[in-house]
Homo-oligomer: A and B are copies of this chain.
Amino acid sequence: MFISKQENITPEGDSKSDTEGANRLELARFFPYQLSVLNASVSEVVAQLYRGRFQLAAHEWRVLAALGESDDGSNSAKVIAAVTSMEKMQVSRAISGLKKAGLISRTVNKNDRRSSCLALTATGKEVYTQIVPLVLAREAYLLSALSQDEIAQLTMIFDKLAAQANALKQLG
């Protein structure tokens, strides 16, 4: 795998070398494409674990994971949205699904009656406890092809790329 040769660094493509047509686009070397393909594979590999055996949708799994990692029961939908990078509406839908499946409980927040305290039920904790080792094992298997140094590199690289992407998103 290769990534397109880098000759230009402005976000809007207004530098000379960009617009002269010297740069070709090769899908297989195009980083956003590579990222998308890898993500599809990795997502699928994780989804296999919670979809069939536990009948969870992707967003439900994400909310379950968020609730499972916090000890205190003070999880409002807003907090969950922030932790999971999901929209409030998607969180709301996921909560409905998890509630219906008996995996989470919802109690009105006494300090602010607009919001709820969400928490895993006993069943929810059980499901969580079953899934977590499976997904961690798959993550570990994925990363086992990398050295500790490469993992550290990847972490830094992702941070930098996320920052750049967020800068670009502002441009619209």
Contacting chain B: which of A97-105, A108-116, A149-157?
Answer: A149-157
Contact A161 B145 (CB under 8 A): yes
Contact A41 B137 (CB under 8 A): no
With contacts A6-B144, A155-B1 taken as known, whether A139 is within 8 angstroms of B26 at the C-beta atoms is no
Interface of A is mostly: helix
Q: Interface digits, A1-43 against B, CB 8 Å rule (1 contact, 0 not)? A: 1111011111111110011010111111011111111111111
Q: How far is the CB of A121 from chain B (nearest CB, A)?
A: 18
Query: For A138, what are the chain B residues with a Cβ–Cβ distance below 8 Å?
Result: 11, 13, 32, 168
Among B11, B34, B157, the residue within 8 A (CB) of A137 is B11
Give how many copies assemble into the complex. Answer: 2
Q: Interface digits, A67-110 against B, CB 8 Å rule (1 contact, 0 not)? A: 01100000000000001110000000000000000000000000
Contact A66 B27 (CB under 8 A): yes
Tally of chain A residues near chain B (CB < 8 A): 87
Among B24, B153, B161, the residue within 8 A (CB) of A42 is B161
Within 8 A of B (CB), among A121-164: 129, 132-146, 148, 150-151, 153-164
Q: How far is the CA of A111 from the CA of B138 in the complex (A)?
A: 46
Query: For A166, what are the chain B residues with a Cβ–Cβ distance below 8 Å?
Result: 41
Contact B153 A150 (CB under 8 A): yes
Among B65, B83, B144, B165, the residue within 8 A (CB) of A164 is B144
